[in-house]
Amino acid sequence: MQIDTAFISEEQSDALYERKVFIVDKGQEPFRIDKWVQMHMEGATRNKVQKGIDAGFLTVNGKMVKSNYKIKPGDEIILMSLINPEHTILKEEDIPLNIVYEDEYLMVINKPPNMVVHPGVGNFSGTLLNGVAYYLRQQNPQLNEESLPRFGLVHRIDKNTTGLIVLAKTGEAAAHLAKQFFNHTVNRRYVALVWGNITENEGTINAHIARHKQHRKMFDAYPDGEIGKHAITHYKVLERFNYVTLVECKLETGRTHQIRVHMKYIGHTLFNDMEYGGDKILKGTVYSRYKQFVDNCFEACPRCALHAKTLGFIHPATGKEIFFESPIPADMESAIDKWRTYSKV
């Protein structure tokens, strides 16, 4: 009997795994867990279930078990599995990758703007994962389609958001990292340029996030908590430029579009965020010289001004905390410099 399904840190999440909890019925006779899971998971094969168990994606009563473990009445089985896994065959492409760190367990990559993380409808080529597939195949020509690292993608960032993303190179590392995202222990800080002069130097936004009721590709904030998933963003002002503000956002949770939705909710839409209305003048009188200046800023940073600047987590093999930082990219830095100069005039 399945009693609960809870998503790891961001569908509505930026993580790609879901957490399923099962309680074994009272009348259940001893039965191999790999067979039991296969029966209770649509589309699961015994081979894939066994690999998942070996990689640590399943626990019984809080402990890892082997595939031949015999379940008992009352056992609590927790399983992590891909959210809506797409069976698209990865198209290996020689795409330049800015690899910040790599070892035998994981890779940390600094993603550029205008790059989708993984293949999907309308984006089957040019994705980060296509480039990773090519890169790993060059390292090990024996890799086949099943062993290429779709499982290693434990979270994602938006197409036009730049910055750090971690990918696992083994199943064990993927399970370890996925649990950290679920437990909200991953240290993620973003830098964003937002419209308006934020009154407080720092603050916390606490509002549920769910699909927008009219626009299904967008999300919205629901402060009463009756709709959507719990979401918390902490922000701190870094610089003020009168009409826009540079802020640092720390995610306590990680829902899809969380920073974009939360900042819009408090009246400070991200600069040049086309989906949420930030691609027009939201602060300041619209007159010709000012409008021309803002258009120049839009041209300098032709995307949502959001950058995943820092990423810290426990290394799945060493158990030590590792931390990475990425400089603000040139396009966003150019827009910030223009506002910094303009605010001093």
Domain with 73, as residue range(s), is 17-82
- Residue 201's Cβ-count burial label (10 Å; 0-12, 13-18, 19+) is exposed
Higher pLDDT, 262 or 14: 262
CATH number at residue 127: 3.30.2350.10
Query: Is residue 10, in this structure, part of any structural domain at all?
Result: no
pLDDT digit string, tens, across residues 52-103: 888 777 889 878 899 999 999 999 988 876 655 455 567 889 999 999 999 9
pLDDT digit string, tens, across residues 261-305: 999 999 999 999 999 999 999 999 888 899 999 999 999 999 999
Higher pLDDT, 119 or 27: 27
> What residue type is 263 in one-letter code?
M
Note whether 162 and 76 are same-domain residues: no
Query: Is residue 94, in this structure, part of any structural domain at all?
Result: no
Q: Helix 288-300 vs helix 330-343: angle between axes, to the nearest 10 degrees?
A: 160
Boundary of a domain, candidates 152, 174, 196:
174
pLDDT of residue 144: 63
Note whether 229 and 330 are same-domain residues: yes
Give me the percent of the chain exceeding a pLDDT of 90. Answer: 55
Note whether 312 and 197 are same-domain residues: yes
Note whether 215 and 335 are same-domain residues: yes
Q: What are phi and psi of 37, to 5 degrees?
A: -65, -40
CATH number at residue 71: 3.10.290.10
Q: What are phi and psi of 181, to 5 degrees?
A: -65, -40
pLDDT digit string, tens, across residues 140-191: 887 765 555 455 788 889 999 999 999 998 878 888 888 888 888 999 999 9
Query: Is residue 140, in this structure, part of any structural domain at all?
Result: yes
Query: Is residue 265, in this structure, part of any structural domain at all?
Result: yes
Question: How many CA atoms are closer than 13 Å to the CA of 169, on its beta-carbon side?
Answer: 19
The neighbouring-strand residues paired with 249 are 190, 235
Which residues are identified as catalytic?
158
Query: Is residue 294, in this structure, part of any structural domain at all?
Result: yes
Query: Is residue 286, in this structure, part of any structural domain at all?
Result: yes
pLDDT of residue 295: 97
Q: How far apart are the first and last CA of the chain?
A: 66
Boundary of a domain, candidates 37, 54, 82:
82
Domain count for the chain, please give it: 3
Note whether 137 and 24 are same-domain residues: no
Query: Is residue 93, in this structure, part of any structural domain at all?
Result: no
Q: Distance from CA of residue 188 to its chain's centroid?
A: 10
